[in-house]
Amino acid sequence: MRVVRVRRGGAVRFAVETTPGRFAEVDAANALEALAGRGKRRSTFEAVDAGKLLFGDDVELLMPLDPPEVWCAGVTYARSRDARVDEAVVKDVYTMVYEAHRPELFLKDAMGRRTVGPGGRIGIRADATWNVPEAEIGLVLGDHGVIAGYTIGNDVSSRDIEGANPLYLPQAKVYAGACAIGPAILSAAHSNGVFDISLRIVDEDGVEIFSGGTSTGQMVRGFEELVAWLLKDNPVPPGSVLLTGTGIVPPDEMTLLPGQQVEIHVPSIGTLTNEVALAADLAR
């Protein structure tokens, strides 16, 4: 079961997938209530493309929830470790994190100031020369850190800034438009927690400049382990999202540019599509 948030007929509501591609609006106060099956059901509508989760012009797909906090885990795939080691001026730090008992965790956003949904514009820093998308599975956390559902996340990052010094991580990761989530939340009760992820980048003319894929089966740490570490002495509010790291790394010569489009597809969730813009333009 997937949950989306849409604007339809002037009203913003959550909608629950009742059969593949068919959704019923619900009077739920938030995404967690909709995932739990609470809320009176109203009118129904259908997706034009159920797999990618595309709708007609009468349905505007919004960010599936407004997370009070977005957290990220890093270096959870061997591919990510290798890329970070190659880019880093300070060596061995990322190998140490990959092999350590304690994972890398950091706060990506709070109160949604830097996070956009499907169709929103993601940002790149003007003071960076190497900006990349990071396609990830996001864990939607319920009460007491229970994994209530899964979504797609894009942890947009400035690799040259982080590579110069690991202490620059907040500047490489936290800025206007540096995060995207959506397009839906897949109920944890309807998933085995294993996902194939594909990433595609096209230029303003629609020409593909990169594509790649991975599976969460290649992660060195499990979802429950990452959540347990996140909650240690840390009061994370329900509705927060934990992005779980990327295993897809574009080639070193590729950097995001304004006007390009990033598509992240997970078969059971949908496709998260965002256009690239300068973060300075989004911060105004």
The CATH number for 152's domain is 3.90.850.10
Check whether residue 49 and residue 82 sit in a common domain: no
Check whether residue 220 and residue 276 sit in a common domain: yes
Instruction: Of 78-92, 118-132, 177-191, 236-250, give the lowest mean pLDDT range.
Output: 78-92
pLDDT tens digits along 270-282: 999 999 999 999 9
**What is the domain range of residue 14?**
2-62
Cβ partners under 8 Å of residue 81, min gap 6: 75, 94, 95, 97, 98
Mean pLDDT of 251-264: 97
Check whether residue 26 and residue 167 sit in a common domain: no
Q: Band the pLDDT of 80: cuts 50, 70, 90.
A: low
Check whether residue 15 and residue 99 sit in a common domain: no
Does pLDDT of 82 surpass 80?
Answer: no
Q: Band the pLDDT of 241: cuts 50, 70, 90.
A: very high
Q: What is the CATH number of the domain that holds 12?
A: 3.10.330
Strand ranges for the chain from DSSP E: 2-8, 11-19, 22-26, 41-46, 60-62, 69-74, 104-110, 115-116, 121-124, 131-132, 135-141, 147-155, 157-158, 179-187, 196-202, 208-215, 241-243, 261-266, 270-278
Check whether residue 87 and residue 200 sit in a common domain: yes
Nearest to 2 by CA among 282, 206, 268: 268
**pLDDT score recorded for residue 94:** 80
**pLDDT score recorded for residue 199:** 98
Mean pLDDT of 242-256: 95
**What is the average pLDDT value for the chain, to the nearest integer?**
94
Check whether residue 34 and residue 123 sit in a common domain: no
Domain termination residue (choose one: 14, 45, 62): 62
**pLDDT score recorded for residue 96:** 83
Cβ partners under 8 Å of residue 198, min gap 6: 135, 211, 212, 213, 248, 264, 265, 266
Check whether residue 137 and residue 179 sit in a common domain: yes
Check whether residue 89 and residue 58 sit in a common domain: no
Mean pLDDT of 163-188: 96
CB of 265 closer than 8 Å to CB of 273:
no
Q: Structural domain tally of the chain? A: 2
